[in-house]
Structure 1
Amino acid sequence: MKKQRIILVDDHEVVRLGLKSLLERHPHFDVVGEAGSAREALEQVESLKPDVVVMDIRLPGTSGIDACEQIVSQYPNTKVLMLTSYAEDEMLFSAIRAGASGYVLKQIGSEDLIKAIESVGRGEALLDPAVTQRVFQEVRRAVKEEEASAFAHLSQQEKHVLLLVSEGKTNREIAKNLFLGEGTVRNYVSSILSKLSVNNRAEAAAYAVQHSLREYITL
């Protein structure tokens, strides 16, 4: 098996020495370089073309996140694993947006770190279990916001009308249910189609189901 070429980036020499000692005991790892700053890391990556960069977030000068973004952009075959003491959401999501393939905390055990580097080297994405739940929470929150924005231009009454349209109700049935005139319902339906940029009731109904309209109805 080809050895994974690794560069270690941390501004603490003792940390780098400890990591190097650990990783060099692994038969499939080759620590080809070390750096104490983002600038040095970029120089090392340019000259050594490693498979994986194990990098701290907090570095003197340019941050590890900014360095990660540059590395991923310029050297797409090089994967970046963020190894940090910080579990703050802002840093986690900034690292993900910067293109990091993995994010693990320094409290990780030695065997788990080795598995993390192997996973990232294979092109897999990996998150420390301590932060995984927060990522899922953020994803769910973003989905909810997107769904809610899908109906942002509709009034509450229009949402009620659309919900009944999605249930297959006719204009007469909707009018009876909401105590409205049929003409008023027709106007509401026309307005809804226009605001949602759909062509007919069937498309409007599908849109309502797709974006979970029922969750955004105020009774």
Structure 2
Amino acid sequence: MKQIRVLLIEDHFLARMALHSVLSGHAQIAVIGEASDGELGIAMYREHRPDVVVLDLRLPRVSGFDVIIALRKDFPTAKIVILSNYQGSEDIYRAVRSGAMAYLTKDASGEELLNAIQSVHRGLRYLPHVALDRLAERTPAVDLTPRESEVLVCITQGRSNQEIADELGIAEKTVRIHVSSLLDKMGARDRTQATIYALQRGLVHFD
């Protein structure tokens, strides 16, 4: 099985060493680099192009939020797992809005971190229930039909209209109608914003 190449961006030495030890103990993971600040982390990403980044938010020189923005700007498919001491709704919202695909707190188990890395590597989001609950606190729920909810889940997985049509066994034109309807109900201007709103409002769930 091909190893998942992971870059660690964490400013605390002991925390970084602990992460390295935990991840290196799994045959599927290869830690290919470590950075102690955001600026160095960005440079190391450019050099090594890892499969997944494990990133702290509170970093010297360049914050974790700005690292996410910088990486996603130049590398739109960059896959980022946040590992932070903070679990406030604003931190989670900003991280996900900026492009992070997973958000864990530092009391997460090694197994949960591994699951998050594997999920993100497959292109899936990984948000524990506590993170989803924090996001849901920000805005009220909206009323989608069962079919619109199915389409929304597919949208959050990054699927195209044709892929959604194939998955649900309906016409692509019908998918477009559902997408237009759910965007209107959610007050979202596009699919990316719909994904953020869906996470905020607890309309989709990721294990």
Alignment TM-score, normalising by the size of structure 2: 0.66
The structure whose RCO (Cα within 8 Å, separation 6+) is larger is 2
Moved over 2 A (4+): 136-141
Give matches, 1:190-201, under 5 Å: none
Q: Please give the secondary structure, in 1, of the residue aligned with 2:100.
A: coil
* Structure with greater proportional helix content: 1
Q: Which residue of 1 aligns with 2:104?
A: 104
Q: Could you say if the C-alpha distance between residues 128 and 22 of structure 1 is closer, same or farther in structure 2, counting changes exceeding 3 Å?
A: same
Q: Which residue of 2 aligns with 1:91?
A: 91
Give matches, 1:47-126, under 5 Å: 47-126=47-126
How much identity, in percent, do the aligned residues show? 34
Q: Which residue of 2 aligns with 1:26?
A: 26
Q: Please give the secondary structure, in 2, of the residue aligned with 1:126.
A: coil
Aligned alpha-carbon RMSD (Å): 1.9
CA offsets per residue over residues 134-182 of structure 1, 9 Å max, x none?
22343535x59xxxxxxxxxxxxxxxxxxxxxxxxxxxxxxxxxxxxxx
Give matches, 1:7-22, under 5 Å: 7-22=7-22
CA distance in 1, matches of 2:95, 2:15: 21
CA offsets per residue over residues 74-100 of structure 1, 9 Å max, x none?
112320101000011111111011100
- In the alignment, structure 1 segments of 5+ residues that lack a partner are 145-206, 212-219
Judge conservation of contact 1:54–1:81 (CA < 8 Å) in 2. yes
CA distance in 2, matches of 1:91, 1:133: 13
Give matches, 1:100-179, under 5 Å: 100-140=100-140, 143=142
- Amino acid in structure 2 at the alignment position of 1:124: L
Q: Please give the secondary structure, in 2, of the residue aligned with 1:33.
A: strand
CA distance in 1, matches of 2:140, 2:4: 35
Higher-Rg structure is 1
- Amino acid in structure 1 at the alignment position of 2:53: V
CA distance in 2, matches of 1:17, 1:8: 10
CA distance in 2, matches of 1:89, 1:78: 23
